[in-house]
Amino acid sequence: MKFTSISHIEKLKASGEKFSCLTAYDASFANVMSEVGIDMILVGDSLGNVVQGQKTTVPVTLEQMEYHIECVSRGNENCLIVGDMPYMSYSTPEEAYDTARRIMQAGAQMVKLEGGAWLLDTIQGLTVRGIPVCTHLGLTPQSVDALGGFKVQGRDSDGAQAMIDDAKSLEAAGARMLVLECVPSDLAKQIAQELTIPVMGIGAGVDVDGQVLVLHDMLGISSFQAKFVRNFMADAKGNIKDAIKLYHDEVKAERFPASEHSFE
């Protein structure tokens, strides 16, 4: 069984080829994503919204993340699996090490956490312990209350520079990948160009290295459709497998996201 590796994603960035990522929470969808060629699966704490019906991702527990990562791992054949570290499960480096251990033992090949410069010691500690880290800047759902709601981040010059500085610091600390969420396209493009690690966008324009969407959003079955979401299920005339394949193909061809799915 051959799995997509982090080094393979890094090679895609180096060659200029885009990579695709979707969230999954169970074995069946993981298997479909493997079959159609999706590069990465994010087992996201977005399961709180789309599976549990929560208003935010905050209530999601580590035990729940472990369960869903185990399910996805059983159905996966070749995708790189990234597992979210849930709310307040990495508030100290020591806590982060234990959380990462559990996420990796459940079946992930990389852990993802949200935040900027305050995470530098944690990322350094995880890295030297052999834990690949994906970081997350921009709209960070676990901090949505502190951010004042679901808003585009980095639109003013101070905010943009702070995000650039954070991104560079996170890379220097050892992060192997970065997610930018709800970030103006030009800013996201600049960050992707200035970093050597792959930069994955969700609502960050087409000029980053890869794209991620929440599965339920791109299938058009979520209760709320954000500006950056395209309903691939409608485009595929109701066929789930075709919708996932279409998403993968559109990302690779740089036809998604289009300008109507991006922020200025």
84 marked among binding-site residues: yes
Q: Tell me the C-alpha to C-alpha distance, in Å, between residue 202 and each of 20, 62, 105, 206, 230.
A: 11, 24, 27, 9, 11
What letter represents residue 157's amino acid?
Answer: S
Residue 181: active-site member? yes
> Reduced to 3 states, what is the DSSP secondary structure of residue 176?
coil
Whole-angstrom distance, CA of residue 175 vs CA of residue 111: 10
Q: Do residues 248 and 38 lie in contact, with contact meaning Cβ atoms separated by under 8 Å?
A: yes
Whole-angstrom distance, CA of residue 214 vs CA of residue 229: 9
Q: Tell me the C-alpha to C-alpha distance, in Å, between residue 41 and each of 80, 81, 162, 195, 225.
A: 6, 5, 29, 22, 21
112 marked among binding-site residues: yes
114 marked among binding-site residues: yes
Query: In the 8-state DSSP scheme, what is residue 109?
Result: S
CA 128 to chain centroid, in Å, comes to: 22
Q: Which of 95, 181, 194, 250 is catalytic?
A: 181
98 marked among binding-site residues: no
Is the sign of the CA dihedral 76, 16, 233, 21 positive or negative?
Answer: positive
Tell me whether residue 8 is exposed, middle or buried, using C-beta atoms within 10 angstroms of its C-beta: 0 to 12, 13 to 18, 19 or more. Answer: middle
156 marked among binding-site residues: no
Residue list for the binding site for Mg(2+): 45, 84, 114
Residue list for the binding site: 45-46, 84, 112, 114
Which sequence positions are flagged as catalytic?
A: 181
Residue list for the binding site for 3-methyl-2-oxobutanoate: 45-46, 84, 112
